[in-house]
Structure 1
Amino acid sequence: MDKIKVILNPYAGRWLASRLRPVIEETLTALDVPFELELTTKPGTGIEMARQASLDGFPVVVAAGGDGTVNEVVNGLALAADALGKPTAGILGVLPIGSANDMAEIAGVPIQLRAACEAIKRGRTRRIDLGVVNGRYFDNNVGAGFEAQVTIESRKIKLLRGTLLYLIAVFRALSHYPSPTMRITWDDGELQRSLLMVSIGNGRRTGGGFFVTPDAVQDDGLLDLGVANALPRLQILQLLPKVMRGTHKNDPAIFLTRSTHITVESDYPLPVHADGEIIYTDAKRLDISIQPARLEMIV
């Protein structure tokens, strides 16, 4: 087996990843997987690390962290493929040790650390689609409005992980986020109204336990668009359990459709996240599209 590159975000999982570094090294060594491990130092550095690793010829680049770490590595792999004129990005491995591991779980990556290392040893892969928002790649979803504000609030909470973290963040965001008027266009339709949030899913789950786009499929060549109307706080709280079960599809406050190209426009500056990473706090236009079968990943 050729040497692989492991990009570890030590902050992932509220510093859980840093504590797991020796376990990762010991497990890969015991499995006879040759590797080179590098730590990210601040947000965004994983993109360049992954891009350079792919250009340097590492056949597999592993994201050790949560959804944000995966997003950075995916962007690096895709940028390297763009530079080389390759239709498919290099092979992605994931060690899911973040606060939320939506993309990995939905794709079929084992959640237990040893099992994820064993999957990398086996090397079985699948192709999935990648989305692009204003030139930045995403693998799971993009959220604008309230969903992104929840992400911002979650960053302020230091002692929790997983679904509970995002539930607390929901209640914090409810206290002050407005519902601006947005104009959404997609392949065969458009709408303009006061909206709580817009969610574009390549995967069906976000925030560690919210099935906002419950029918999204990672390899169908389509993006799932979910729109929530402006609602009183009580109705939002009543809707929340449905979203956590993915049973909100027939709720009159929700609109769901599928498309290959989506634009979001707003005069009000929108917070926006891509795979749990805040990429804008003041966006007024988003241009979002899908690139089918762009990424090969180990499962």
Structure 2
Amino acid sequence: MSKLDLFLNPSAGGGRAGRLEGDLLQHIRALGLEVNVHRTEGPGQGVGLSRDLAEDGCRTLVVAGGDGTLFEAINGCMQADGPMPELALIPIGTGNDFAKSLGIPLAWPDACDRLVLGTRRRIDVGQCNDIFFINTLGIGLDAQIADIAKHRRWLPGDTAYVAALAQSLLLRRRTRVTVIHDQGREEQEITLMVLANGSFEGGRFELAPGADIDDGKLDLVMTPRLSARQIIKLAPKVSNGEIADMPGYKHWLTRRATVLLPEPACVHADGEVIYRQARRLEIGVIPGGVSFLC
């Protein structure tokens, strides 16, 4: 590989991506690579930009930003007519959750070096109705956190998610779900429900420990409604990958799921709110849907 397209979200990481643009380009060019830069100017613009690049014959698309930037790139590329570009990731966002599951270094110079030193890996892609996701899809508390955190992305690191968790505990609504999956049917009131390709959410919370991003399945995780006091007490365990210790924790592997919501609910995909009044979700997985250089 000697030529690539760089999809840069200058606002990612509270503006960190924009501030690093010059250093990124200098480092990438020092690796002997030719790079064309494509910048987004606002939320959602990256979907059309990535789709256009894919349809114009882009072979390698390097995403410089966070999980939201990657979400837009995945959706644009999956919507495109023609071959899917190979993707690479330079994680300079707020949470950088999928980079952890992908094994990409969080230090941006080391991530850049993977453009010449990395190996290719086929990764599963999740789909919810007509929307694609690469990391997680969530309903309940984590969706509320994602919705609140987007207004706090100026905070450093994953502080935005911690602050959003505190506010969510005060504002959260009751959420009841019915989910039909490969191994049965469940109906209950939840704290959260996640269909996970990757393991992490919110920068530090490991909601699906051991999730495999290339097994052709999604990890379906469900926890019953807990009190705010219980959630605060158990949050450190979730940060340490011990979510299975939560009372009433349930976990299955599934290729498909239908989620029915008697009351409209907020839903996020890769930390981006995709529905605020969801009633029915059809969820599946596309095995090996994208190739990553990692």
Q: Shorter-chain TM-score category?
A: over 0.9
The correspondence for 1:180, drawn from 171, 175, 184, is 175
* SS of the residue 1:143 aligns to: strand
* SS of the residue 1:110 aligns to: coil
Q: Which residue of 2 aligns with 1:251?
A: 246
Task: Provide the C-alpha distance between the structure 1 equivalents of 2:111 and 2:245, rounded to a whole number of angstroms.
Answer: 36
CA shift for structure 1 position 177:
0.7
Of stretches 106-115 and 247-256 in structure 1, the one that deviates more from structure 2 is 247-256
The correspondence for 1:93, drawn from 88, 99, 103, is 88
Q: Which residue of 2 aligns with 1:241?
A: 236
Task: Provide the C-alpha distance between the structure 2 equivalents of 1:220 and 1:175, rounded to a whole number of angstroms.
Answer: 37
Of stretches 149-158 and 286-295 in structure 1, the one that deviates more from structure 2 is 149-158
Kindly report which structure 2 residues correspond to 1:75-224, keeping only aligned pairs within 5 A, or say none.
75-80=75-80, 83-84=81-82, 89-122=84-117, 124-224=119-219
Q: Which residue of 1 aligns with 2:38?
A: 38
Maintained 8 Å contact 1:2/1:59: no
Paired amino acid for 1:63: V
CA shift for structure 1 position 158:
4.7
Q: Which residue of 2 aligns with 1:286?
A: 281
CA shift for structure 1 position 201:
0.4
Question: What value does the CA root-mean-square deviation take over the aligned residues?
Answer: 1.4
* SS of the residue 2:204 aligns to: coil
Task: Provide the C-alpha distance between the structure 2 equivalents of 1:293 and 1:215, rounded to a whole number of angstroms.
Answer: 18
Q: 1:253 to 1:161 in 2, by over 3 A?
A: farther
Tell me, which stretches of 5 or more residues in structure 1 are unaligned?
none
Is 1:57 equivalent to 2:52 in the alignment? no
C-alpha distance after superposition, 1:237-279 (max 9, x if no partner): 1221111111121433311111000121112221111111111
Task: Provide the C-alpha distance between the structure 1 equivalents of 2:3 and 2:52, rounded to a whole number of angstroms.
Answer: 15
Of stretches 21-30 and 247-256 in structure 1, the one that deviates more from structure 2 is 247-256
* SS of the residue 1:190 aligns to: strand
Task: Provide the C-alpha distance between the structure 1 equivalents of 2:287 and 2:171, rounded to a whole number of angstroms.
Answer: 38
CA shift for structure 1 position 123:
5.1
Maintained 8 Å contact 2:183/2:252: no
Aligned length: 294
* SS of the residue 1:11 aligns to: coil
Paired amino acid for 1:134: N
The correspondence for 1:261, drawn from 234, 246, 256, is 256
Calculate the TM-score normalised by the size of structure 2: 0.96
Task: Provide the C-alpha distance between the structure 1 equivalents of 2:242 and 2:219, rounded to a whole number of angstroms.
Answer: 15
Give percent identity, aligned residues only. Answer: 34
Maintained 8 Å contact 1:62/1:95: yes
C-alpha distance after superposition, 1:195-214 (max 9, x if no partner): 12111100111111111111
Is 1:26 equivalent to 2:6 in the alignment? no
Task: Provide the C-alpha distance between the structure 1 equivalents of 2:122 and 2:260, rounded to a whole number of angstroms.
Answer: 31
Of stretches 46-55 and 157-166 in structure 1, the one that deviates more from structure 2 is 157-166
Q: Which residue of 1 aligns with 2:13?
A: 13
CA shift for structure 1 position 180:
2.0
* SS of the residue 2:206 aligns to: coil
